[in-house]
Amino acid sequence: MTSKVGLVYSDEYLKHDTGEHPENSKRLVAILSLLKEKKVLKDLTLINPRKADLKEIEYIHSPSYIQKVGEICRRGGGFLDSDTPVSKDSFEVALLAAGGVFSAIDRVVANLDSAFCLIRPPGHHARKSAGMGFCIFNNVALGARYAQRRHNLKRVLIVDWDVHHGNGTQEAFWHDPSVLYFSIHRYPHYPGTGRIEEVGEGEGRGYTVNVPLPAGCGDSDYIYIFKETLFPCALEFKPDITFVSAGFDAHRADPLGGMDLTSPGYGALTSLVRKPSKRIVSCLEGGYSLLALSESVLEHLYSLASHLEGRIDYEPPKKGVEEIVEKVKEIHSKYWNLG
């Protein structure tokens, strides 16, 4: 590894007890096991997370919602919605997940090139006043606000490649031109948001870029889309910091995704995100095949460290993908120079 890459992790993240739910502690255990097997940990800078304080969580979430989550957990646990269980320790673990992102930002600003936050619970579905889709607090959205408020990093790019659209993140920055939110996701699919026509409102119009895809899209499709849409937007936007909502559930082996990405494909996507970015903080979101998840994270870290483009044999995009890209360009050409 050549670049200075940080890794946020704590065994405390395993205490968010969801039983046999797809988002469970085995995910982090599997990732760590492979990183140890491949002797990658010695090349990473371990970052100890801190807990976010409640005022920091209010950067994105309402006080009443924060209080509600705390009360449910203090009673021993329950459900925020039908998909989102919490246990007695989940509130404190969620604070540590958000705070882990803050710790990563501090280190990237100080002396690292990038950092991967091996954290849970995930966050990109969490809305201002509601947890949903396995998510409690919106880690990446909170990180964006923290970077702006604590480090005066004015322009924030968020790249969300989870197979599900990050409705909570989109909502948080819907009117905000200081945050460019780019999401590539399967559609129609949970949570039902993320149409091309969803572009933001008011001063934020054009700063939400959605690329909804049919099932079955793979490496070449994603790489083509990144090069044709994300890359020109990011170069023009000139982010001071980039966040990745790094869900790995678009992998062909994922039981919930229905897409066709490979583990090396995630390495290639990482290199494309890295090019226009001075600093990058990546946060684990979805990914529910333990083997595919751990191998994809490994490729992600290799790419963060080496800046190599990845081991991919490029093919033309699938039929229909070019049409989707042209529609994205048509809608966003009034905001960005998409060629």
Note if 61 is an active site residue.
Answer: no
Q: Which residues contact 25 (CB under 8 A, 6 or more apart)?
A: 13, 14, 15, 16, 17, 18, 120
CB 329 within 8 A of CB 229: yes
| 274 in Cβ contact with 280 (< 8 Å) | yes
Q: 3-state SS of the chain?
A: CCCCEEEECCHHHHHCCCCCCCCCCHHHHHHHHHHHHCCCHHHCEEECCCCCCHHHHCCCCCHHHHHHHHHHHHCCEEEEECCEEEECCHHHHHHHHHHHHHHHHHHHHHCCCEEEECCCCCCCCCECCECECCECCCHHHHHHHHHHHHHCCCCEEEEECCCCCCHHHHHHCCCCCCEEEEEEEECCCCCCCCCCCCCCCHHHCCCEEEEEECCCCEHHHHHHHHHHHHHHHHHHHCCCEEEEEECCCCECCCCCCCCEECHHHHHHHHHHHHCCCCCEEEEECCCCCHHHHHHHHHHHHHHHHHCCCCCCCCCCCCCCHHHHHHHHHHHHCCCCCCC
Phi, psi of 183 (to 5 degrees): -130, 130
- Given the residues 16, 125, 164, 189, the one annotated as active site: 125
| 180/30 Cα distance (integer angstroms) | 32
Active site residues: 125
